[in-house]
Amino acid sequence: MADRIDRLISLGREHYGAGEYDKAEPMLAEASAARPTFPDVFNMLGVIYHQSGRFHDAEEAFESALRLNPSYTEAALNLSVTYNDRGKYDQAREVYARVVSASYAQPRALDTYARGKLANMHADLGAAYAGLALYDDAVREYAKALDLCPEFVDLRVRLGNVYRDMGMYNAAVAELEQARRLRHDYLPARINLGVVLYSLGRKDE
């Protein structure tokens, strides 16, 4: 029996890693029922359930992962997103705040995945604020994202574009030039920088 569960977990992880969620789900579900001791198995199940719109099942899976490992950052972020999808906004904010608080208390503790996910969550908020012309709020969220992942040139370009829309052209140029320095081949940075410089009459740059 133990060997069978080990095989199910191993194969389930392989299928999950390959994006074959339909094959991974029954294996991981059986394994988690027989041996409910692996946080990553519950997290993978949660992602699979969330992907298929089964938010209640996803919530339970992520909560199980966190009961087993309260420091499981990826599961906490996934749970926060799921709470938000289910309209449990206070719980979503609470879980998210715990993750952020832990990241500031131990700035090196977050792995690359977690930093990227946090940064993209801030960026999504920034985009929502920008779409409503709430530019100060958008700037704040993009700045938080870039504090976590300063190498994300696409977010730096977005911040530069918000500054442009605010009429803060020098700030826009600074962000777009930094994006271009980070990745000289990143076309959106070059195009948007050219647009801002042209609007400033700096056509030769």
Q: What is the per-residue pLDDT across 114-161, written as a single tens digit (0 to 9) for each?
A: 788 888 889 988 999 999 999 999 999 999 888 888 889 999 999 999
Residue 32: inside a domain, yes or no? yes
CATH for 63: 1.25.40.10
Distances (CA, A) of 104 to 68, 99, 101, 113: 23, 9, 5, 16
Structural domain harbouring 193 = 138-205
71 and 17 assigned to the same domain: yes
pLDDT of res. 106: 56
Q: Looking at beta carbons, which pairs linking 29-34 to residues 24 or more positions away fall under 8 Å?
A: 30/5, 31/5, 32/64, 34/1, 34/5
Q: Quick one: 171 exposed, middle or buried, by C-beta within 10 A (0-12, 13-18, 19+)?
A: middle
